[in-house]
Amino acid sequence: MHLLKFDWNPLTGIEILGNFKLHFYSVMWIVAFLTGWYIMKRIFTKEKVSLEYLDPLFIYTVLATMIGARLGHVIFYQSELITQDFWSIFLPIRTNPRFEFTGFQGLASHGAAIGIIVGMYLYRKKYNYKSLLWILDRVVISVASGAVFIRIGNFINSEIIGKVTDSNFGVRFIQDYYYKSEIVRLTGIKNVQKAYYAVTDNPQFQNLLDAVPYRHPAQLYESFCYIFVFLILWFVYSKTNLKDRTGFLFGLFLILLWTIRFFVEYVKEPQGDEYINWFGFNTGQWLSIPFIIIGLYFTSSWISASLLFGKQSCMFAWAISFLWGLML
């Protein structure tokens, strides 16, 4: 195994009862939400906002994220589920071809983003203690931290994989390449997990392992980059006065996160049916562009904002502008 090349063939969950399996991907979602709750608690405490608003915000965020992400995946990538397996759209199960508890799979980040914006609007209508943009400016910090864990969960699940690569850095996703029924048939081992393990552990099945190509670990690329999105947002919030510019953090988040997503799409395999593929840009890239434009709108007055809020903010604004120019 090359230092920067490795085989990925993990245990993806724990069998608990019958068809019920606790997926580590689902655990990553729980970690993401709990981390976000803790960050928002710190923000509320720092800004002397009553904590009675925190738990409702958490509930709205969870529901908006999951509903938006699921509907987004179905609408943007897998619309056939509407007629072929309707209940799997809303529940963590599969009923076609057989009933199976799958955990929450098939979630689109663009749909989640739209869902969160709509959810925060509905939350603000009921809990009118701050403006909608004030809430979005703070919530996106938690969202950025959560995105790190979600992409780790995708990696554990061997989903949202990258394109084939012959570079010195690549991963062989065994469980993505072979379907469960296929790996059982090819190895003659009835236990699916043991059959997968045999591919990497048993020299007898070296030919099956050799057939799996190395791919870009696109999930890890995104997860790593999102760490910096979170750190930048937290720095702006805690160390500069730019947080007082309504909509600035929200806009900065949209620019950073969706620019990363736009470029990572170049090394990712399609997540589903590519309904949009114009001028060399795929569905994920076209869906990212409107968010970037919205982000630019909210951060378009950086220079004037810097003059208003001081030298430190000015230096930061120019630094971000320079990095943005390099990415383009």
Q: Which residue type, as a one-letter code, is found at position 266? A: Y
CB contact at 8 A, 205 and 188: no
Instruction: Reply yes or no on whether the pLDDT at 317 is more than 70.
Output: no
Share of the chain above pLDDT 70, in %: 85
* pLDDT value at residue 105: 66
Instruction: Reply yes or no on whether the pLDDT at 325 is more than 50.
Output: no
Q: Report yes or no on 106 lying in a domain.
A: yes
273 vs 168, residue with greater confidence: 168
**Rounded distance between C-alpha atoms, residue 233 and residue 236, angstroms:** 5
Instruction: Reply yes or no on whether the pLDDT at 19 is more than 90.
Output: no
309 vs 40, residue with greater confidence: 40
Q: Report yes or no on 118 lying in a domain.
A: yes
pLDDT tens for each residue of 251-260: 999 999 999 9
* 328 band by pLDDT with thresholds 50, 70 and 90: very low
The two tokens of residue 3 are: 């230092």
* pLDDT value at residue 208: 95
Q: Report yes or no on 76 lying in a domain.
A: yes
17 vs 248, residue with greater confidence: 248
* pLDDT value at residue 90: 72
pLDDT tens for each residue of 159-200: 889 999 988 889 999 999 999 899 999 999 999 989 999 999
Q: Specify the number of domains making up the chain.
A: 1
pLDDT (mean) for 25-40 = 94
Task: Please give the model's pTM, rounded to 2 decimal places.
Answer: 0.84
pLDDT (mean) for 58-82 = 85
* pLDDT value at residue 276: 66
Q: What is the mean pLDDT of the chain?
A: 85
Reduce the secondary structure of the chain to three states and give it as a string. Answer: CCCCEEEECCCCEEEEECCEEEEHHHHHHHHHHHHHHHHHHHHHHHCCCCHHHHHHHHHHHHHHHHHHHHHHHHHHCCCCHHHHCHHHHCCCEECCCCCEECCCCCCCHHHHHHHHHHHHHHHHHHCCCCCHHHHHHHHHHHHHHHHHHHHHHHHHCCCCCECECCCCCEEEEHHHHCCHHHHHHHHCCCCHHHHHHHHHHCHHHHHHHHCCCCECCHHHHHHHHHHHHHHHHHHHHHHCCHHHCCCHHHHHHHHHHHHHHHHHHHHECCCCCCCCCECCECHHHHHHHHHHHHHHHHCCCHHHHHHHHCHHHHHHHHHHHHHHHHHC
CB contact at 8 A, 70 and 76: no
Q: Report yes or no on 108 lying in a domain.
A: yes
* 2 band by pLDDT with thresholds 50, 70 and 90: low
What b/e readout covers 106-123, taking b as 16+ CB neighbours within 10 angstroms? bbbbbbbbbbbbebbeeb
pLDDT tens for each residue of 72-96: 878 777 777 777 777 777 776 777 7
CB contact at 8 A, 34 and 61: no
CB contact at 8 A, 214 and 166: yes
* pLDDT value at residue 125: 95
Q: Report yes or no on 200 lying in a domain.
A: no
* 250 band by pLDDT with thresholds 50, 70 and 90: very high
**Rounded distance between C-alpha atoms, residue 102 and residue 86, angstroms:** 15
Q: Report yes or no on 285 lying in a domain.
A: yes
Share of the chain above pLDDT 90, in %: 59
**Rounded distance between C-alpha atoms, residue 135 and residue 53, angstroms:** 11
* pLDDT value at residue 301: 62
* pLDDT value at residue 86: 73
Q: Report yes or no on 191 lying in a domain.
A: no
**Rounded distance between C-alpha atoms, residue 232 and residue 313, angstroms:** 13
CA distances from 310 to 46, 237, 241, 301, 324 (A): 22, 15, 8, 14, 21
* 265 band by pLDDT with thresholds 50, 70 and 90: very high
Instruction: Reply yes or no on whether the pLDDT at 273 is more than 70.
Output: no
Domain extent for 118: 5-169+216-327
pLDDT tens for each residue of 278-300: 678 888 899 999 999 999 999 88
Instruction: Reply yes or no on whether the pLDDT at 327 is more than 50.
Output: no
pLDDT (mean) for 94-103 = 70
Nearest CA to 256 out of 161, 301, 160, 323 is that of 323
**Rounded distance between C-alpha atoms, residue 105 and residue 114, angstroms:** 18
Q: Report yes or no on 183 lying in a domain.
A: no
**Rounded distance between C-alpha atoms, residue 212 and residue 106, angstroms:** 23
* pLDDT value at residue 322: 46
Instruction: Reply yes or no on whether the pLDDT at 326 is more than 50.
Output: no
Q: Which of 14-28, 45-59, 305-319 has the highest mean pLDDT?
A: 45-59
